[in-house]
Each structure stands twice: as C-alpha cells, then as structure tokens.
Amino acid sequence: GAVVSQHPSRVICKSGTSVKIECRSLDFQATTMFWYRQFPKQSLMLMATSNEGSKATYEQGVEKDKFLINHASLTLSTLTVTSAHPEDSSFYICSAFTPLGDTQYFGPGTRLTVL
Amino acid sequence: GDSVTQMEGPVTLSEEAFLTINCTYTATGYPSLFWYVQYPGEGLQLLLKATKADDKGSNKGFEATYRKETTSFHLEKGSVQVSDSAVYFCALSSSFGANSKLTFGKGITLSVRP
C-alpha cells in the first residue's frame, strides 16, 4: 500500500522555539494532506487541510499563525509550530489521499515535547 | 456536527476469544464508515470500510456492518490473536474524494493475552 512518512518521530524543544515537522508521501503524489493532533487517550483532531500550491484550510479554533503549513510539492507538506509552548506538546499525525482519492494513508506520527 | 462514539476501553481478551468493539455515529446525510488500526509504533492503517447502509466491510477476519437504523458500525472478530493487539479507531466521512475529512472516535486499546 501507499506509504506516508514523518520526520522527526520525536522532538524535544525549549519553550519559545519553532519546530518543523515533515510529512512525505513516498510512493505517490498527494494533492491533499491533512494534519491531526492527538492528545493522550483522545481521538485525532483535524487541524488543517493542506493543498499543494495553495493556502491551507484550518479548522475552527486552530491558530494559523501558530501552526504554519506549507505544501510546496506533491510529496511534501510541512507543519511548523512557531514559538512553541508546553501546551503545544502533543502527538502530530499527517495523512494523505492517493490520487484515486478513496483511501487516506497516515504517517506514523511525531511526538512533540516542549519544555 | 458529525461525531463518533466508541465504547470505553481498554479491552483485554485471551487468544481465540470473540471480539466486539462498539461504535455509533451521528452525521448528516449518508456518511462512509471506517475502522482504522494503529499497531505499536506505527501509523494508522485502514482496516475496513463501508460506504452505504447494510454494507459489510471485512479484512483480516474482522467484520463490521453499516447499520443505518441504529447508526452503528460495530467491529467484530470471531477469534482474536496476540498480533491483533493494537488501538482501534472508528471514523466517518460525510464527503467524498480527496478532500474528505475524517471524524474519529477516541480509539480503544485491545490487548490479547496468549
């Protein structure tokens, strides 16, 4: 099946710094990718829809200036958490649709810890 | 808005036991329904799906039937294995195609003892 990777898998940073998370579709081109956030023992919450070559669409309540999304190519989307704070600590997961658009494939997730 | 409710976990079973994980949903229109599984250290994988009422999705011995009258999509397996230990998410999508957004339940952890 289609493979989606994320890098890094874990990151620890100091409060006030910015962190970039990459999401790549390894064997297919993805015009649309999604970014989710998952808290412990909680469901995945959709943060934004990332469209190649255009601005991301953010869900209600998600700060677009804090969570910067760039989808510069058909195989790469990045999420940058700017001026991170401890409350941003979470598990961030991306996903992508194959060109057929019938199945969403997920990355393994990135664990962000902000000290 | 759309929502998915899963039974509370975790669930611990002995190998070869019967498994049922309940899932109910609230949605406008006729959503597609999914079960995703997340094995330790891996990303979510699509386990099975159903796109219309009375459809039965099946994969790897797991089954779920789209019940519109009870707005449910319960996951079942007749005989679980240790390798089935994972987190299971029920999800729905009210739209189609590459922009379909998924709404997830909280997930439930299944542990299978040898």
pLDDT tens, position by position, A84-101? 999 999 999 999 887 666
What does the mean pLDDT of chain A come to?
A: 90
DSSP chain B: --EEEE----EEEETT--EEE-EEEE-SS--EEEEEEE-TTS-EEEEEEE-STT-EEEETTEEEE-BTTTTB--EEESS--GGG-EEEEEEEESS-GGGPPPEE---EEEEEE-
Which of A46, A97, A108 comes nearest B42 by C-beta?
A108
Q: Which residues pair with A69 in a beta bridge?
A: A79
What is the mean pLDDT, run by run of 10 residues, along chain A of 115 residues?
A: 89 96 91 88 86 89 94 92 95 85 84 95
Contact A108 B43 (CB under 8 A): yes
For residue range B5-30, list pLDDT tens digits in order. 998 889 999 999 999 999 999 998 88
Contact B4 A49 (CB under 8 A): no
Q: What is the pLDDT of residue B44?
A: 87
- CB distance A108 to A6 below 8 Å: yes
Q: CB contact, 8 Å: A32 with chain B?
A: yes
Which amino acid type is present at position B31?
A: P
| A86 token code pair | 């401890």
Contact B99 A43 (CB under 8 A): no
Q: Which residue has the higher pLDDT, B75 or B1?
A: B75
Chain B residues at the A interface, defined by Cβ less than 8 Å, are: 4, 36, 41-46, 89, 96-107
